[in-house]
Amino acid sequence: MITTKITVAHSDVASFLSKFQNVPRFLAYCKQCQNYNAKWSCPELTINPKTYLNDYSEIYLIGLKIIYDEETKKEINTKEKIIDFTTKLLRKMKNQLSDCLLEVEKEIPNSVSFSSGGCAWCCKCTRPSGNPCRKPEKMRYSLDSFGIDLSRVTEEFLNIKLLWGLDELPDYHTLIHAIVVKKDTDCELLMQKLNAIKINAIQLNKSLK
């Protein structure tokens, strides 16, 4: 059975950006991604990635570790199966966590959440056709689009070692989401809400037939 584990960490925004943000370096990587200028959640943004977060005082990082059992690792044993299986699984898990954070936004005034990677609510984004986002109430920017070094954030801030693998399924994958808040937020209540989040592992059809 696939299981999950959530880790929450907190920092003031100024210190976090000083340590982990490098817009020119990481937006250069974004330009090599198929989502660049193809999803509303991704660069080029309609906001300034260097200044947008300055309006907020605190940032909470939420790391979702998706842990694979040995049976799954044995069954998902080719590059094609790994790509197909993880693409479907991570999309569903990402949207599940995004939904939880959208609910937190409703309860915590002046808060906004951020997603792991490009938005995954629609099968095909409207951005390439020049049409407005279909689900602006759900779409949230990716942390990557702000020039955040997510590898360092994951390992140094959340104490989770990033694992990759196309030749074999790794022990786990990690999704990084976040939520930022302004001054005078009840941070104790926010932490209670974040620590109460439960993500159910979704068992997909591993046979892929």
> What pLDDT is stored for residue 207 in this prediction?
44
Contact 40, 127 (CB under 8 A): yes
> Nearest Cα to 146, choosing from 115, 173, 174, 122?
115
Judge whether 200 lies within some domain: no
What pLDDT does residue 122 have?
93
pLDDT of 62 over the 70 cut: yes
Q: Is residue 90 part of a domain?
A: yes
When divided into structural domains, the chain yields a total of: 1
Where in the sequence is the domain holding 86, given as residue range(s)?
A: 3-195
pLDDT the model gives residue 205 = 54
Two tokens, residue 5: 């584990």
Asked whether residue 156 is domain-assigned, the answer is yes
Q: What is the bridge-based pairing of β-strands 3-12 and 172-181?
A: unpaired
Question: 208 falls in which pLDDT band (50, 70, 90)?
Answer: very low
pTM of the predicted structure, to 2 decimals: 0.91
Q: Which has the closest alpha carbon to 53: 25, 94, 12, 24?
A: 12
Question: Is the distance from CB of 173 to CB of 163 less than 8 angstroms?
Answer: yes
Q: What is the pLDDT of residues 70-95, one digit of tens each?
A: 999 999 989 999 999 999 999 999 99
Structural domain includes residue 66: yes
Does 204 reside within a domain? no
In a domain, 13, yes or no: yes
pLDDT digits (tens, 9 = 90+) for 158-171: 999 989 877 899 99
Q: pLDDT tens for residues 99-151?
A: 999 999 999 999 999 998 889 999 899 999 999 999 999 999 999 899 999 99
Examine residue 147 and state whether it is found in any structural domain, yes or no.
yes
Q: Is residue 203 part of a domain?
A: no
